[in-house]
Homo-oligomer: A and B are copies of this chain.
C-alpha cells in the first residue's frame, strides 16, 4: 500500500456515505479531549460494527495504531479533509415553502460545514422578505450573483423541480439535494441526492405491515439504528 498522501484512493460509495456519521461520532470526543479511541468504541457510538469501521477507515489510509486505537483529532481532521469540509460550502435553497423555510432555519447545516448563502423563490410575494435573517431573492438575482461552487437544494413543489434542476445545471451547479418526489434528469457529471419523505414512511409501512421482526444484532434485544 502506497502511503503517498496525494494518491486518489477509490473510496467505495457505501464507505463515503458512512464517513459523515463517523465524523459526528468523533466530535464529542474531540470536545471532551479524548485522545484515542478504539474501533470498537467508535463503532458503538456511530452505530456500526467494528470490523466494518476498520475497513472503512482503511480506505482513507493508515490512521490507527495497532494495539492502541485511533488518534481522535487526527482521524477527525482526516475525515474532514476527505469529505472536503475544511472550508464551508455555499448552499442555495430554492423553493421557500414550508420545507424551504425549515431548511433555511436549520442550524445543523452551519455546524456541519455548510453556509446557506441564497434563499430563492419565484413568488413575488415571497421575494424580498426575510427568512431566518436572510433576504429571499428571485432566480435571476441568484443567477447573477453565483460565482463560486454551490450546492443547490431543491424544495419546490414537484412540478417545478425539473425546471429548477435544468436552470441550476445551466448555471454550472454540479451537486443537487432534491426534496421533490420524482426523477430528475440531469447531465451525467451532476450529482443528485434525493430525500423523499413519503417514500421513507412507505418503506416503514411495508415492514410494519409484515411485522418483520428481524432480530439481527441480537445482544439483549437492542439494536442501534443511526
> Which A residues have a C-beta under 8 Å from some C-beta of B?
8, 16-17, 19-21, 23-24, 45-47, 82-85, 89, 91, 97-99, 101-103, 105-106, 108-109, 111-114, 149, 151, 153, 174-178, 181-218, 221-226
Known: A109-B198, A175-B207. 8 other contacts (CB 8 A): A20-B202, A23-B202, A98-B102, A175-B205, A178-B225, A184-B226, A185-B224, A188-B218
User: What B residues does A188 contact at CB under 8 A?
Assistant: 213-218, 221-223
The number of times this chain is found in the oligomer is: 2
Residue from B19, B192, B206, B208 within 8 A of A202 (CB atoms): B19
Do A193 and B183 have beta carbons less than 8 Å apart? Answer: no
Q: Whole-angstrom distance from the CB of A158 to the nearest CB of chain B?
A: 8
Do A222 and B177 have beta carbons less than 8 Å apart? Answer: no
User: Nearest residue in B to A177 (C-beta to C-beta)?
Assistant: B200
User: Nearest residue in B to A25 (C-beta to C-beta)?
Assistant: B183
Residue from B206, B216, B225 within 8 A of A194 (CB atoms): B225
Do A222 and B185 have beta carbons less than 8 Å apart? Answer: yes
A113-B202, A191-B204, A223-B187 known; A209 and B101 CB under 8 Å? Answer: no
Q: Can you report 25 residue pairs joining A to B where beta carbons are below 8 Å apart?
A: A8-B210, A17-B199, A17-B203, A20-B198, A82-B206, A83-B206, A84-B206, A84-B209, A85-B205, A102-B102, A109-B198, A112-B198, A112-B201, A112-B202, A175-B205, A177-B200, A177-B204, A184-B225, A185-B222, A185-B223, A186-B225, A187-B221, A188-B213, A188-B222, A191-B204
